[in-house]
Structure 1
Amino acid sequence: MWNFFIDNSRFTYLLVVILVGFGLYSVSSIPKESSPEVQVPIGIITTVLPGAPAVDVESLVTNELERGLSGGLENVKKITSVSSEGVSSITVEFSAEADIDESISELKDKVDTLITRLPDDAERPLVTEVNFVDQPIMTIAVSADKTPVELSLLADDLVDNLETVNGISKVEKSGVRDQEITVLVDQAALLRFNLTVNDVFNAVRSANNTFPVGQIVTDNVSYNIVFAGGTDSADGIKKIPVAVRGDQAVLVQDLAEVVVGLAPATTYSRLSVDGNPSQSSLLLSIYKQRGGDITVMTEAVETKLNELKSTILADTTVYTVYDAGVDIKKDLSNLSISGLQTVFLVITILMIAIGWREGLIAGLAIPLSFTIGFIGLYFSDNTLNFISLFALILGIGVLVDSGIVIVEGINKRIRNNPTISKIEAAKETVNEFSAPLISGTLTTVAMFVGLFVVGGVTGQFISSIPFTLIFIMFASLIVALGFLPLITAKLLNGRQVATVDGKQDLLSKKTENWYRSILVKILSSRTLKKQFLTFIVVGFISAIALIPTGFVKVVFFAQSDVDDIFIEIELQEGSIKESTDLAVRRVEEYLYKHNAVIEAFSVTVGSGSMFNGGGVNPRLANIQVSLKEDRGLTSSEFVEVLRSEFSEIRDVKVTVTQPSNGPPTGSPIGIKLYGDDVETLNQVASQVTQKLSEISGVTNISTDSDANTTEIQFLVDKEKAGLYGFNSQVISQTLRSAVYGSEATSITNLKNDIPVVVRLNLNNSSEVEPEFANWTNINTIQNIELATLSGERIALGSLSEIKLREANNEIKHEDQKRVMTIGSDITATGNVMEVNAELKKQIDENINLPTGVTYALGGETEESNQAFIEMFYALIIGIVLMVAILVFQFDSYLHTFYVLSILPFSLIGILYGLAMQVVHSPFLQLWGLLL
């Protein structure tokens, strides 16, 4: 079979050119990304129960839905939930192998069957899909000398333009406010006309209507009739009648001020570049669609921004805070350089060992195997990322083995047989070595086939490793047996031996003789044989013992040097964004001191980081820091510097993190406490947190109990309220309209819908911005009035009792059990496995868990333990397949045992080598054992 390629040289050369060309096309077309895209089917069920405290939401909504979902869905990994005031959020995580579309569809169908279990005043549950990789690929900051309204319009235009870029799924804006018309109702005016805020809300809502009535036929012509009762301006809102007093209509303008402006600010954004004081800006977070090449998308976005600089972005400053495309190119470039260096080193060694001409020919196997292997990656829908490039580098030393055997075999035949032709030598070499080379390649492939059993998030994350290595190993076999024999026969000098080659042969023979003498000496002496075997056994056992004893410190995925870090600022519950902003400015002062390290940073007040799943919350803020390339210290070192400095800020929680290299696994350290009583869980969490803080290498400790807050609770006397014709829904809607505001209608212009929000001015000042209308006291809330059907006015305070209490903002479940989570990061010198081992020891020995309270270690450990177990299974599968192949090849158990006896020698060298490393041994390095 293989002689076909030698006999048909022109076809072979053409085939090589075609494969190389297609391989180059494949490598240019394969999507590029920094890390493999992990798809985990997750569905979120959100149910609103207006006005209900977290405990009632848990019992009336969450528990009912969880019981209905339990056991009724396929491929469910776990069900978690968060019950908060007025909202139940249930997260259903399916197994990573499940089809995301089918899973979400099945979840929606199941939820529809459970609606009858919910209270009558609960809103219909909303099921949404969560994309695990839904993180921004670019963050753009734009600053300009514009009014807030102009900046808001600019943001809308930018979002519209950028969302037209191919591959972009959405663009989110922050730091700007949307347009809004606020109907700010005056309490004194309501008293004067004996009206309530609900009267104004209902009038505005019902007055703005436009809808088709039907058709009439006149003179055989059909005409559509449309009722045009709507309004398209703020002046129209002012003229809406609310009631009639005497012979006069009471209009909205008699009861309220209609303010045309912007919605209350939820976030502030600022940008600082090159150490200059931060300036107000709008921030755009750009997201990609599933799949696709990130580098292509970010380049397209940059092109679009450059086009817009001559139009809507004229006279503005645009700064790219984060560009995943640039990071990917940098990572791929660094890995490519490392790969080229490895290739050069391998070829150099080959030239020294077997001759320069033979070394170059054998070295051709590397680029040929790579280009052919890329074809397989392209058609298997893999991407080019740091994992697949790592696999390529890992396989370089192995894929040349077959080429070396063929080239050296042909060369020796030509030199040792004066009458043989180079073509005949090539054919004889292929015939002799094809079977062992195929078996050897299959044994290597077998070891990586087992990696396909690794499931979950980690399995998806590392799946490109077996794909990549299997493709290039088979490609190397085709190159060695199909292409190299012909190339070698054409390029070798024949029987002429150069001076350098002669010296190499002489040195090689001397080395062989020296090694032979040592072997003879050992094998001919019973004592030396026993000593040698004893040394191997002791070395093997001691090498294996290096892992449990801690000399080989293993981390799941090692932290690399990155160009972006993230700072999270968190104030106590109840803090307003103005207080958060002051705290952020204190943090900024520390950052200005590091101008030599920091290139720029963007600030968002009122929201957690999008990279860490943060949502809008006035007590949260985040800072994204871009580091200079020539900063003189690694990102991990700088993170430790900032953590040390921020420890001086005592009244604010400041967390500094950097992106992880591995798959998403949550916090490195995670402890889950399970129990029925929330107060008991809070007490145990406090003890565990204290023990965790005493362990070296731990930082950024957080716990669910931090979310507890003080709340003002309105306890409605339902019997008394019922006498006046009120129910909980009417009272809660009145409260919401008064305190927060309710959207009554919207006005449509050419670009978008502008909401019209009705709210009560609870501030004592008559001239107040709508944003500050709720700056008031509890007495004002009690004096809010409701109107009965007979027109009687009832103060809210007379229908309810007010209590000030500490409350759980959130009650969390995992698989129908109450759970409280404690999480933390680790420092640059910390080790997850060591910290977890010490924490488990501290809990077991020093904390007396109350009856009914249990705990489990989660975080990175939960995923890494499963990954290591499955890696062990993969190793067993690989060994079984390898043994089967060797037995088939040799038809001998003894010969197979001889071949496998090299494994202890390999493990000794590998494990002692890892133990001598200064840094911890990452999960990736252990994959080298399979080779």
Structure 2
Amino acid sequence: MKPDLSGSITRATIRSPLTPLFLLTALAVGLIALMTIPREEEPQISVPMVDMIIEAPGLRAPDVVEQVTEPLEEIIKAIPDVEHVYSQSRDDGALVTARFDVGTDADDAILRVHEKIRANLDRIPTGVPMPLVVGRGINDVPIVTLTLSPEPWTGDVWNDTALRMLAEELQKELIKVDDVGLTSVVGGRPLEMRVEPDIHAMAAYGVPLQTLVETVGQAANVKPVGTARRDGESLIVQAGDRINALSELERLELRGADGRTVYLSDVATIRVTGAETESRVWTLDRKEDGFVAIPAVTVSLAKRPGANAVKVAEAILARAESLQGALVPEGVRLEVTRNYGETANHKANELLYHLGLATVSIVILIAFAIGWREALVTLIVIPTTILLTLFASMMMGYTINRVSLFALIFSIGILVDDAIVMIENIARHWAMNDGRTRVEAAINAVSEVGNPTVIATLTVIAALLPMMFVSGLMGPYMAPIPANASAAMLFSFFVAVGIAPWLLMRIAGGVKATEHAAGHEEGETRLSRFYRRVAAPVVASRRNSWIFLGVVGVATLLSVSLFATQAVTVKLLPFDNKSEIQIVLDLPEGASVEDTERTLFAIADLIRDVPEVQTIQAYAGTAAPFNFNGLVRHYFLRNAPELGDLQVNLSEKSHRKRASHAIALDIRSRMQGLVLPVGASAKVVEVPPGPPVIATLMAEIYGPDPETRRQTAGIVRQLFEETDFIVDVDDSIGDPQPRMMIAINEPQAADYGVMQQDILDTIALTFAGQTAGVSPRGEGRNPLDIRIRLPKSERIWSQETAAIPVPRRLAGAGASPIELGALVNVSEEQGSPIVFRRDGHFTDMVMGELAGRFEAPIYGMFDIQDRMDAFDWAAAGLIKPTVRMYGQPEDETRPTLLWDGEWEITYVTFRDMGLAFGVALVGIYILVVGQFGTFRVPLIILTPVPLTLIGIMIGHWIFGAAFTATSMIGFIALAGIIVRNSILLVDFVRHRQDADTPLRDVLLDAGAIRFKPIVLTALAAMIGASVILTDPIFQGLAISLLFGLASSTALTVLVIPAIYIALRGPDWTPAGVPPSVDDNSALLKEAST
């Protein structure tokens, strides 16, 4: 037999001294990759989001849209690779967000935005400052957070101000760790020099607020003013003075209305204290009767791009541990409240363990099925292929994360297929004892199955590679699977034909043939006899074959009907088992931070009995350190008194029985008894298993005018709330906050000789205050801001504030100040609602999550649409909105509801995967046509592909699991795996067919001989899948492989023969055209008949 490509490789390597060097090199580079490749929990996803914050003082929200937002949107939309432009326009300002295409470089995205804005500065209205451009990406997400809080026995020694100072010192030490990225401190009040004017004393002395600001500013101002010469030296000249102590500030001299000298301490209270903030952070200690709130400050630390999250986190924690007792005193607790490095390492180690478990299981299978020597070869082949794949993964820029490791576990079952086929066939040829040498028999054995193995390997790659091109946010999640699995398949082929025969010669080459005979001889085995008993009735007649094919077809249709009956539901991805849950609180605009704080404590009290809750941090008026979900949802912008977060940290997964999703459902049920004010919402937010979205179920409402949109959104929200499995309902409308309008009485101001700017400055100082300067404190200590601000209790409009003096600069020197109340008119008005736009379209949003009977958005969408059909829109004076599943409406003259949120990602993902599956089938068909030289036989080979659905659907039904994106990956991969079995079977039929043997006997012989390697390869793949069956995310993939392989493998070895018999009959022969090993004329004749 002339060797083919596979046989030629085997001939070149089976005796070569270079082969062991190749093996050692493969192991070495693989181990280097395993040790050096960065580890992280999630794949790196570059989704740059650039925020532009614009202040537009004095403009109402509709005017902001016209003058600021729309021009800026047009500028940003012109930037290449910008996928979406979102905007929120409010009174006095706007936020515009540019989301770039997945994969765009984050630094490049920010640079493009800056350049585009600078090139179009002429389009920014007069009086509107330059937008503040802030870019954030996945590397800005903190991987470690450390929370400082005092021990209960320390009393009031460690208040939030002292904790803040300690946290800032700790931050300075931790940023010295290599590869630490962005850091921040959340909570606490920084120290400041506070100057609190006494408005009664100021009125008595006739000292305006501006005088305080100007005097302090001048006293705390030092600047270089030139150079001077002395004795031939050049000296830098500085002018001004510094405020180094509180006493210096107190002795500053002011000038009263009557010309008297007034000291600052006469008209103000001056002290060093914590800055006044509208935010508070607490750690909640569990007690028998509830929680005790203890002041806390959190230090968050991210990593640099490309850094190993595990190593960076370990280095941070080691450094923090070394500071215990030195920088961090005994009375302060240093608690690790987030460690993504630990979770990433745990996940990686867990999956590597599963990888090893799958390898050992497959080796045991080979030992029982073929022999222990062949199993020993397999034990070397599998790790070699895996290590080579890790090296390729590192070269492709991937990291070790849960997706790339799942790709290896998924691959382990199929990468061993080539080796199993080769090893089993070599052992069978050695058992023939036909006079050939072991080397010659091994080369012939490899050549015999070489071409179909090459085609089978390429078909698996053809099935997987199209998934590389799934678009959107799911693309980076899926890309490691086809990339790593395809690399594994290529390496497995070369290892199987180049290294496996060499190993088999070294381990079993000297063993007598009789020791290999058992199980390999051409005669009958238990497996072959079992196959003949099962297959014989199927191929006995055309009628039997047609009946069998009909039953299989009906079973396939019945399995698919499980979708229609909702016995198997559809979801993008199930929830993962995480160690954190977030509760997000939104009170009505205008609520105080104290209200937010009380509500957060009430929620914490409701969940105090949840046994898995380990620690809770409460963030009132500020955002908790964000994760990837918070990055997309912009939680880092949640800085307002009415906003709050509860960060709920759970015990380790190994220490609890319930998954985090079950705990979240429990927490949500406990919160149903929470009484919230009208317009408030409290949402339980889980870490999403895949790409984050604003809300799982989101309806975007478009329409001709704001009133129509808001009324329609209100009704849609009502329908959301009526649906039992839609929870955490919210909308984007909100209630505008009342505004106090202080208008200048221009005639009065002119009569008194008062500049309008002085009036505006006095109003601003009255209600907002101002930082007038800083007081330096030397190296290693942050300077203190000198803040001038009225006490909080006096920041209201009253007779006292109306009596605040305003300077009369236009009335001439010596003119006495005039009271503020004589120069202004005070009124109240309603603020404007926030105006939302997406890609230039006005929209309002209704959002919700799903929990209970269904957790996929598609079912909530259908339920809401049914309710919309039943709703009497005419009675509400509205037109029923048109429903769109994808893409914004072109006609906005009538209301339109566009489904967004998780549905958009689901739609794009399954659409692209469907296209990928189609491309895969075409690619497989072309490969098989090239192999067999006929257009019809490949259709027979592809016939078993739909049969995988029988097992897949039944498996999902048995486990009660949703059909997810990973299930679809398994279905697509099975197309390549099953076609591989079909090719091996059909190719063997082609070689066995002769002029005298009836087709029935040829089919039974081919099936009996090929049944063993087909079953072995299927079992190997099933073992590889079984170890990930308990993983929440990849359970769908495991079910698809396990049950899909079981059903399709069992049916393929029967369906292929049944098709042959149904088309040709059991006694058909090539009619005098005997095929040779190298001629497929019989097959061509069969296809043309």
Whether the 8 Å contact between 2:219 and 2:240 is mirrored in structure 1 is no
Q: Out of 782, 807, 810, which is 1:752 matched to?
A: 782
Matches within 5 A, 1:830-869: 830-832=854-856, 833-846=858-871, 848=873, 849-850=878-879, 852-869=894-911
Whether the 8 Å contact between 2:139 and 2:302 is mirrored in structure 1 is no
CA–CA distance in structure 2, aligned partners of residues 899 and 728 of structure 1: 87
Match of 2:208 in 1: 196
The CA deviation at 1:775 is 5.3
User: Residues 592-651 of structure 1, C-alpha deviation per residue, up to 9 Å, x if partnerless?
Assistant: 323x32222222222244343142222222222222343332222222222122111112
CA–CA distance in structure 2, aligned partners of residues 44 and 824 of structure 1: 25
Match of 1:356 in 2: 372
For the residue of structure 2 that corresponds to 1:216, the secondary structure is: strand
CA–CA distance in structure 1, aligned partners of residues 872 and 45 of structure 2: 38
User: Residues 257-302 of structure 1, C-alpha deviation per residue, up to 9 Å, x if partnerless?
Assistant: 2221110133322224565734222222222222311111111111
Structure number with the higher strand fraction is 1
The CA deviation at 1:45 is 1.2
Match of 1:104 in 2: 110
Match of 2:140 in 1: 134
Q: Out of 447, 460, 463, which is 2:479 matched to?
A: 463
Q: Out of 291, 298, 306, which is 2:321 matched to?
A: 306
CA–CA distance in structure 2, aligned partners of residues 725 and 139 of structure 1: 56
Q: Which moved more, 1:793-802 or 1:100-109?
A: 793-802
Whether the 8 Å contact between 1:197 and 1:759 is mirrored in structure 2 is no
Match of 2:176 in 1: 164
Whether the 8 Å contact between 1:423 and 1:486 is mirrored in structure 2 is no
For the residue of structure 1 that corresponds to 2:642, the secondary structure is: strand
Match of 2:345 in 1: 329
Match of 2:417 in 1: 401
For the residue of structure 2 that corresponds to 1:376, the secondary structure is: helix
Match of 1:125 in 2: 131
CA–CA distance in structure 2, aligned partners of residues 116 and 718 of structure 1: 31
Judging changes above 3 Å, is the alpha-carbon distance between structure 1 residues 277 and 69 closer, same or farther for their aligned structure 2 residues? closer
TM-score normalised over the length of structure 2 = 0.80
CA–CA distance in structure 1, aligned partners of residues 837 and 745 of structure 2: 31
For the residue of structure 1 that corresponds to 2:846, the secondary structure is: strand
Which amino acid counterpart does residue 482 of structure 1 have in structure 2?
G
Which amino acid counterpart does residue 22 of structure 1 have in structure 2?
V
Structure 2, unaligned stretches of length 5 or more? Answer: 1-7, 880-892, 974-1089
Q: Out of 560, 568, 575, which is 2:576 matched to?
A: 560
For the residue of structure 2 that corresponds to 1:868, the secondary structure is: helix
The CA deviation at 1:926 is 1.4
Whether the 8 Å contact between 1:740 and 1:774 is mirrored in structure 2 is no
Match of 1:764 in 2: none
Matches within 5 A, 1:260-339: 260-273=272-285, 275=287, 277-315=292-330, 316-339=332-355
Judging changes above 3 Å, is the alpha-carbon distance between structure 1 residues 274 and 773 closer, same or farther for their aligned structure 2 residues? closer
The CA deviation at 1:879 is 2.1
Match of 1:376 in 2: 392
User: Residues 150-205 of structure 1, C-alpha deviation per residue, up to 9 Å, x if partnerless?
Assistant: 32321110111111112222332223111111221121232223332223223323
User: Residues 645-680 of structure 1, C-alpha deviation per residue, up to 9 Å, x if partnerless?
Assistant: 211111264322221111222311111112454444
The CA deviation at 1:493 is 6.0
Q: Out of 758, 762, 767, which is 1:734 matched to?
A: 762
**Sequence identity, in percent?**
22
Q: Out of 698, 702, 712, which is 1:684 matched to?
A: 712
Match of 1:880 in 2: 922
Q: Which moved more, 1:306-315 or 1:881-890?
A: 881-890
CA–CA distance in structure 2, aligned partners of residues 68 and 823 of structure 1: 29
The CA deviation at 1:309 is 0.7
User: Residues 129-161 of structure 1, C-alpha deviation per residue, up to 9 Å, x if partnerless?
Assistant: 121453221221222333434323211101111
Whether the 8 Å contact between 2:250 and 2:270 is mirrored in structure 1 is yes
The CA deviation at 1:392 is 1.2
Q: Do residues 32 (structure 1) and 39 (structure 2) align?
A: yes
CA–CA distance in structure 1, aligned partners of residues 567 and 895 of structure 2: 35
Whether the 8 Å contact between 1:77 and 1:93 is mirrored in structure 2 is yes
User: Residues 298-353 of structure 1, C-alpha deviation per residue, up to 9 Å, x if partnerless?
Assistant: 11111011110131113122221221122222222333333333333333333333
User: Residues 516-551 of structure 1, C-alpha deviation per residue, up to 9 Å, x if partnerless?
Assistant: 354443334232222223223333334444435533
For the residue of structure 2 that corresponds to 1:568, the secondary structure is: strand
CA–CA distance in structure 1, aligned partners of residues 614 and 777 of structure 2: 41
Match of 2:27 in 1: 20
CA–CA distance in structure 2, aligned partners of residues 51 and 199 of structure 1: 26
User: Residues 781-802 of structure 1, C-alpha deviation per residue, up to 9 Å, x if partnerless?
Assistant: 5555533422575555555554
For the residue of structure 1 that corresponds to 2:683, the secondary structure is: strand
Q: Which moved more, 1:919-928 or 1:222-231?
A: 222-231
Judging changes above 3 Å, is the alpha-carbon distance between structure 1 residues 783 and 91 closer, same or farther for their aligned structure 2 residues? farther
Matches within 5 A, 1:572-651: 572-594=588-610, 596-609=611-624, 610-611=626-627, 612=630, 613-614=635-636, 615-629=638-652, 630-651=655-676
The CA deviation at 1:355 is 3.0
Judging changes above 3 Å, is the alpha-carbon distance between structure 1 residues 704 and 466 closer, same or farther for their aligned structure 2 residues? same
The CA deviation at 1:505 is 6.5
Between the two proteins, the alignment pairs up a number of residues equal to 919
Q: Which moved more, 1:492-501 or 1:153-162?
A: 492-501
Whether the 8 Å contact between 1:426 and 1:486 is mirrored in structure 2 is no
Q: Which moved more, 1:249-258 or 1:501-510?
A: 501-510
Which amino acid counterpart does residue 217 of structure 1 have in structure 2?
R
Q: Which protein shows a greater Rg?
A: 2
TM-score normalised over the length of structure 1 = 0.92
Match of 1:816 in 2: 840
Judging changes above 3 Å, is the alpha-carbon distance between structure 1 residues 780 and 523 closer, same or farther for their aligned structure 2 residues? farther
CA–CA distance in structure 2, aligned partners of residues 73 and 722 of structure 1: 49
CA–CA distance in structure 2, aligned partners of residues 802 and 371 of structure 1: 75
For the residue of structure 2 that corresponds to 1:443, the secondary structure is: helix
Q: Which moved more, 1:424-433 or 1:102-111?
A: 424-433
Structure 1, unaligned stretches of length 5 or more? Answer: 762-771
Q: Out of 530, 547, 553, which is 2:546 matched to?
A: 530
Superposed CA RMSD: 2.8
The CA deviation at 1:860 is 0.8
Whether the 8 Å contact between 2:199 and 2:801 is mirrored in structure 1 is no
For the residue of structure 2 that corresponds to 1:551, the secondary structure is: coil
CA–CA distance in structure 2, aligned partners of residues 45 and 407 of structure 1: 62
CA–CA distance in structure 2, aligned partners of residues 507 and 195 of structure 1: 112
Whether the 8 Å contact between 1:184 and 1:258 is mirrored in structure 2 is yes
CA–CA distance in structure 2, aligned partners of residues 246 and 690 of structure 1: 66
CA–CA distance in structure 2, aligned partners of residues 674 and 19 of structure 1: 58
Match of 1:89 in 2: 95
CA–CA distance in structure 1, aligned partners of residues 98 and 745 of structure 2: 37
Q: Do residues 41 (structure 1) and 48 (structure 2) align?
A: yes
CA–CA distance in structure 2, aligned partners of residues 681 and 919 of structure 1: 38
User: Residues 466-516 of structure 1, C-alpha deviation per residue, up to 9 Å, x if partnerless?
Assistant: 221112111111210110010011212666467897368699634324433
Q: Which moved more, 1:294-303 or 1:139-148?
A: 139-148
Whether the 8 Å contact between 2:201 and 2:267 is mirrored in structure 1 is yes
Judging changes above 3 Å, is the alpha-carbon distance between structure 1 residues 635 and 445 closer, same or farther for their aligned structure 2 residues? same
Judging changes above 3 Å, is the alpha-carbon distance between structure 1 residues 222 and 508 closer, same or farther for their aligned structure 2 residues? farther
The CA deviation at 1:694 is 1.7
Q: Which moved more, 1:396-405 or 1:608-617?
A: 608-617
User: Residues 731-785 of structure 1, C-alpha deviation per residue, up to 9 Å, x if partnerless?
Assistant: 5543332112222222222222321222234xxxxxxxxxx34554555555555
Which amino acid counterpart does residue 900 of structure 1 have in structure 2?
L
Which amino acid counterpart does residue 68 of structure 2 have in structure 1?
V
Match of 2:166 in 1: 154
CA–CA distance in structure 2, aligned partners of residues 157 and 508 of structure 1: 79
Match of 2:17 in 1: 10
For the residue of structure 2 that corresponds to 1:655, the secondary structure is: strand
For the residue of structure 1 that corresponds to 2:39, the secondary structure is: coil
Match of 2:913 in 1: 871
Judging changes above 3 Å, is the alpha-carbon distance between structure 1 residues 508 and 559 closer, same or farther for their aligned structure 2 residues? farther
Match of 2:732 in 1: 704
Whether the 8 Å contact between 1:363 and 1:400 is mirrored in structure 2 is no
